[in-house]
Amino acid sequence: MSAAEPDSIARRGMLVGLGALLTSACSRLTFFAANAPTVFGAYTRRTDLAYGADPLQRLDVYIPDKPADHPHPLVVFWHGGRWEFGDKREYRFVGAALAELGFVTVVANYRMYPQVKLAGFMADAARAAAWAALHAGEYQADPAHCFFMGHSSGAHMGALLTLDPRFFAAVDQPIPAITGFIGLSGPYDFLPLREADLQDMFGPPDRYALSQPINFVHAGAPPMLLVQGGRDTTVAPFNATHLAAALRDRGVPVTLRMYPKLSHAGTVAALSELGRGIAPVLTDIKTFVGTELRS
């Protein structure tokens, strides 16, 4: 055994341990572990840019340092947190990972429940997406190739915004050129609502159906990449399989990546530098974006 081999084994053991941490419930320690390696990444970050008057209507932009012969694809990402908690600063590792792939990435905050309900946080999602498309050129991004992306409740918001244009109309904003949607562990088909906070957030009952992305699938919708963990006990895996089936039924291109051993947090944790050995989610995203850019 060479002298290098014990170090290699130890490093693999450390990564396995950190991978387990990253795929557990999202905690402050989890986000610290995920974000620590990104401080010296090959990207420039512009923080706390305003897309509205409320303190939560702020976003960060991650710009690849590597020059390109043509404008970068644009990705708009919404964080998860049950529409009630979470912050863009916790997802620096997402912006860094996507910038590493050559994508200009916008990571947006938004108002949450109980400050607002569905109409409020979806209005913020529409405003953030419209801002990103309008300002894309300032960050060497191509507004004609815009991808929406989110994790958990953020994936719900991104999917609903992709499929239902009424949210842009509600805030008098133009619909960006949506090239595709990337959803990580998203709730897309989650009726009936049993928890009181969700009933209030998406109510009254006669409006529940309007909160479900699956109800707005239509022919001509943008292509989608749906990444789901088989061990997800927060958002049932059938959300992804049902949406994928509905998209296929209407002729919409969809790629479903089901990872049997991943938890709810695992799909986004796999984007972190220390978690990439868990599952090739970053490669899935790179392949999906590259395919849509060539089509």
Q: What is the dihedral of CA 290, 183, 283, 232, to 10 degrees?
A: -160
What's the total number of domains in the chain?
Answer: 1
Bond prior to 114 in cis (omega within 30° of 0): yes
Separation of alpha carbons 80 and 38, rounded Å: 20
Mean pLDDT throughout 200-224? 98
> In the chain, what is the straight-line distance between the N-terminal and C-terminal CA atoms, in Å?
49
With a pLDDT cut of 90, the percent of the chain lying above it is: 83
Average pLDDT over residues 9-27: 44
Mapped onto helix, strand or coil, the DSSP state of residue 39 is coil
Model confidence, pTM:
0.91
Expressed in percent and rounded to 5, the helix, strand and coil fractions of the chain are: 45, 20, 35
Confidence (pLDDT) at 15 = 43
**Among all chains, which residue has been given the structure tokens 């572990």?**
33
E-strand stretches of the chain: 43-50, 58-64, 72-78, 104-108, 141-151, 178-184, 224-229, 254-259
Phi-psi region of 173 (alpha: psi -120 to 50; beta: other; left: phi over 0): beta
Q: Which residue in 228, 215, 269, 284 sits closest to 26, CA to CA? A: 269
**Under DSSP, is residue 204 helix (H, G, I), strand (E, B) or coil?**
coil
Give the pLDDT of residue 265. Answer: 93
pLDDT in tens, 31-50: 766 777 776 788 999 999 99
What digits encode the pLDDT tens for the residues 152-196? 999 999 999 999 999 999 999 999 999 999 999 999 999 999 999
Q: Which CATH number characterizes residue 48's domain?
A: 3.40.50.1820
Q: pLDDT higher for 122 or 3?
A: 122
Residue 17 has pLDDT above 50, yes or no: no
Using 50, 70 and 90 to split pLDDT, how confident is the model at 27?
Answer: low
Note the pLDDT tens digit of each residue in 245-271.
999 999 999 999 999 999 999 999 999
Cα–chain center distance at 278 = 18
At residue 272 the predicted structure's pLDDT band, cuts being 50, 70 and 90, is very high
Tell me the per-residue pLDDT of 275-292, one tens digit each, with 9 for 90 and over.
899 999 999 999 999 999
Residue with tokens 């905050």: 109
Rounded distance, CA 188 to CA 159, Å? 8
The range of the structural domain enclosing residue 267 comes to 4-294
